[in-house]
Structure 1
Amino acid sequence: MDEDGFWELIDLCARETGSRKERLAWLKTQLCQLSADEIIDYHMWWELNANRGCTCDMYALSCHLLRRESTDGFEYFVYWLMSLGREAYDQVADCPDRVMELPQVMDLLDLKRRWFAERRRGLPWSDEEYPGFELLAYVALDAYEQVTGAEVDVLYTAVKARGVRSRFPLLAAEFGEQDWDIADDAEIARRLPRLARHLTSRG
C-alpha cells in the first residue's frame, strides 16, 4: 500500500459511514481484507502523516482551541485532523494556522461560543463532534492482531524496521529547535495570525 492507498481508505471511511463507531468498524473490515504487510504499510503511513502534525505550532493551536494544555489531547487532536481527510490535513500540516480556515473547526468554535454565552455546564461538543479521535489510531493494530494472530508489538517492530518512529507522545519541552513559549502573545501573533485574531476577538 502506498500513501495514496492509505488516504483513499481514510477518505472513503468518512464518506461511507455515519457515526465514529461505524467508521471504525468499516475501516477495520477493510484492513482485515489486506495482507499483514499491507496492514504494516497502512500503519507506517499513519505514523508518518501523524508526525507531520507533531509541531510546536500545532501544539499551540490545540492548547488554545481546546483551552487545555494536554499532550494527550494534542495527539488526539492531530488524529482528528487526519480523520477530516487528505485535502484538509495536507492544508493544515503544512501550515497549522490554516486550521482556523477549516469549516469543521469554525462549526466547533461557533458551538463553543453559544455554549458559553448560555452559561451551560460541561463540554460544548458531543462525543461525535469532539475534536479528538484517539481510537482511529488503533484500527490497524486490531486488524493486524485479527489477521495474523500476532501481538501488536510485531507490527510496531516492523514499522520501526522501516525507519519510522512515532513522535507521540511528546512533551512540549521536547520539540527541540521548534520550541517556543505558547503563552507568548507576540509569538502567537507572528506564527499563528489567524489563531491570534480568534483569541483577540474572543476577548
Structure 2
Amino acid sequence: MRTDEFWALIDEARTGADGDSGAIMERLVALLAARDVTEIEGFDQHLWRVLAASYRADLWGAAYLINGGCSDDGFEYFRCWLLLQGRATFAQAVKDPDSLAGLPAIRQAAVTGAEFEAGEVLHLARNAYRKATASEMPEQEHAAYPKLDEFWDFDDEESARRQLPRLAALFVEPPAE
C-alpha cells in the first residue's frame, strides 16, 4: 500500500467520526475488510513503518508531558492516537512535537487531564483480515525501530521548558518566584 492510499483510508474513516478514536477505528476495520487481503496486509506494513518513523525521543517527551507520564507501551499507543488525527497533524507532530500544543484537544487536556492513547490501532489490520476471511492474518516482519540515544529527563521541568516550551507552558507548573 502506498503512503497516499494509507492516509486516504484514515481520512475516509475520520469523516463523520467527530474525532472519536473508537468510531474511526471501527470505520477503518470496515473499510479495510472490504479490500483485497494483500491491501489489508499492506496497510499493516505501512502502519508499522509510520510508527517506526515516529519513534523519536522528542515526540516521546511530548507524549510524556501531555499524558502525565508515558511508558514505552504508552508511547506506542500515543502515536497510534496521533495517527488517527490524520496525515498533516501526524507529520507536523513528528517534525515539531511542540506543535501539538496548538491542537484544541491537547489544550483541553491541560485542563481536564485527558490522556491520548489508541493502542487498538495496532490490531486494525488483523481485525479487518479476520472479518474479511474468517481466518488469522499471517505473521509479518515489521519495520525496525531506530535506537534512541538523545533522551532528556522528561521529569525535569526546566528541561521540559527548554525542549518543548509550548507544551511545557500547558503541562508544567510555572517556576516558583
Give me the TM-score of the superposition, normalised by structure 2.
0.83
The answer to whether residue 26 in structure 2 is matched with residue 62 in structure 1 is: no
State the Cα distance separating 1:79 from its structure 2 match: 0.9
Aligned to 1:176, the other structure's residue is in SS state coil
Aligned partner of 1:139 among 113, 124, 142: 124
State the Cα distance separating 1:175 from its structure 2 match: 4.5
Root mean square deviation, CA, Å: 2.4
Measure, in 2, the Cα distance between the counterparts of 1:144 and 1:51.
22
The answer to whether residue 143 in structure 2 is matched with residue 165 in structure 1 is: yes
State the Cα distance separating 1:40 from its structure 2 match: 1.5
Measure, in 2, the Cα distance between the counterparts of 1:202 and 1:62.
21
Structure 1, residues 66-91: CA drift from partner, whole Å, max 9, x if none? 22342222211111111111111111
What are the residue-to-residue correspondences of 1:171-186 with 2, within 5 Å? 175-186=147-158
Match of residue 84 from structure 2: 83
Measure, in 2, the Cα distance between the counterparts of 1:20 and 1:62.
17
**Cα separation, partners in 2 of 1:27 and 1:191, compared to 1, 3 Å:** same
Measure, in 2, the Cα distance between the counterparts of 1:46 and 1:29.
17
**Of 48-57 and 15-24, the range deviating more from structure 2:** 15-24
Match of residue 17 from structure 1: 17
**Cα separation, partners in 2 of 1:191 and 1:31, compared to 1, 3 Å:** same
Aligned residues: 174
Task: Report % sequence identity.
Answer: 24
Aligned to 1:132, the other structure's residue is in SS state coil
Aligned to 1:177, the other structure's residue is in SS state coil
State the Cα distance separating 1:183 from its structure 2 match: 2.6
Structure 2 unaligned residues grouped into runs of 5+: none
Measure, in 2, the Cα distance between the counterparts of 1:25 and 1:194.
33
Aligned to 2:51, the other structure's residue is in SS state helix
Structure that is richer in helix per residue: 1
Give me the TM-score of the superposition, normalised by structure 1.
0.74
State the Cα distance separating 1:13 from its structure 2 match: 0.9
Structure 1 unaligned residues grouped into runs of 5+: 113-124, 168-173
